[in-house]
Structure 1
Amino acid sequence: MSEMPVGQLIRWGSLFDHAPATIRVTAGRLMKQGLLESTDRGIYRIGQVGKALQETAAAWISILDRIGAWDGQWLCVHTSHLGRTDKTAVRTRERAFRLMGFEQLVAGLWCRPANLVEPASVSLNRLIALGLERGAVLLHMQGADMCADVDAHRLWLR
């Protein structure tokens, strides 16, 4: 189903005891986030950000085909200059990082092993499609020599 009337969403919401007003407010919020878009009054379909989330989730099925041998290189994204006052933007940014396997090493620096067979630019484009701001800085690093109390490897050993 590519489009759905709000009435159907309300009927589904009632199965979980959600009030019609709650469904309408939520649809409005999802539209602001780009997860939904309206094609006509009271008719919704998945939005651009929603499509990116859908594609990312579908890609997990074949994730093993996208992972290569890790040679010690890292993909890092610097974000501290983007700010933290817009809480919605921060949540969206952090969701994009989590969906792409990044962890925050230090404030404003998100890292992951560069073990995907896709080029770093493709990973960056995926992050942007998931909501990362275009002003973020992608770094492709050979090694991660840091002070003794910061160990990037620990992020994936939980």
Structure 2
Amino acid sequence: MLILDLLDTGDPPSFSAAELVRAGAAFGIEAPGIRTALTRLKAEGRVRTLARGRYTIGARAEPLKARILGWRTRLDSRREWDGRWLLAFAGPQERADRTAWRRTLRALELEGFAEAEVNLWVRPNNLDGGAPGLRDRLALLDAARSLLVVEAGGLDRDREDRFRRLWDGAGLSAAHEQLGTMLERSAGRIDTMPIEAAAAETLTLRRQAIRSIMRDPLLPEALCATGSLARLIAAMTGYDRIGKTVWRDYLRG
């Protein structure tokens, strides 16, 4: 995860083996562990070699990297909600391959779906592109191509009420607020920390913040207020600059 976390930032776009070994040292990971991880990630296609001893993101990880790099504009994909839903149906065909099914579940989670009934996942239809755009994004995330995704409205009252309660909006907002506070407090003390500890802390918190931003389901205001997410993105924008400066200084050392 450390190697992908570094490469997913896109700044710099590649790292030497020596830089990755030094990065591992900030987390107590010894050189053999970094080299073993590099070998595995290359075999999986998630890391590739640019030149002898220099690495960048691989083709298998490019779609997720592109998504991660979009954290700053995460809220821009929302649109007004007209009360309709997106439904994703999965059956035996999609579950047949366990590895493919795990990828499908991850893709559904990343796109803000919640499991509503057996074989049924739902989310509000409030993102740009509607069902066609959602199918494209799920495909990029390696979801099963046979997954049926449709728009739906006019649900019975019981389902409408249950679907609206599938997400803990208050919990999401509280988690974003807490993480934003952590970023602000960390930013205030980074200059007083040893460079190795500062590097570890900034990468860990940046990873947590981006994960939280990208896994937010982007619910409509009727289901979850988005002010806390906007504040987290703003806090992360400043903290990201601090973190990148710390890492440049650390890798040069």
1:85 positional shift: 5.3
1:114 positional shift: 0.5
Question: Which amino acid in the other structure matches residue 108 of structure 2?
Answer: F
State the identity as a percent.
30
CA contact (8 A) 1:78 1:109 kept: yes
Question: Which amino acid in the other structure matches residue 98 of structure 1?
Answer: E
- 1:105: which partner in 2? 116
* Matching of residues 92-131 of structure 1 within 5 Å: 92-131=103-142
- 1:8: which partner in 2? 19
Shift in alpha-carbon separation, 1:65–1:10, aligned structure 2, 3 A: same
More helix per residue: 2
- CA distance in 1: counterparts of 2:96 and 2:31, whole angstroms: 33
Larger Rg over CA atoms? 2
Is 1:75 aligned to residue 86 of structure 2? yes
SS at match of 1:135: coil
1:87-106 deviations in whole A, cap 9, x for unaligned?
Answer: x4344322222221111222
**For the aligned residues, what is the CA RMSD?**
2.8
Q: Give me the TM-score of the superposition, normalised by structure 2.
A: 0.52
Specify every segment of 5 or more residues in structure 1 that has no aligned partner in the other structure, as ranges: none
- CA distance in 1: counterparts of 2:36 and 2:101, whole angstroms: 21
SS at match of 2:166: helix
- 1:55: which partner in 2? 66
Specify every segment of 5 or more residues in structure 2 that has no aligned partner in the other structure, as ranges: 1-11, 170-253
Equivalent residue pairs, number: 156
SS at match of 2:144: coil
Question: Which amino acid in the other structure matches residue 12 of structure 1?
Answer: A
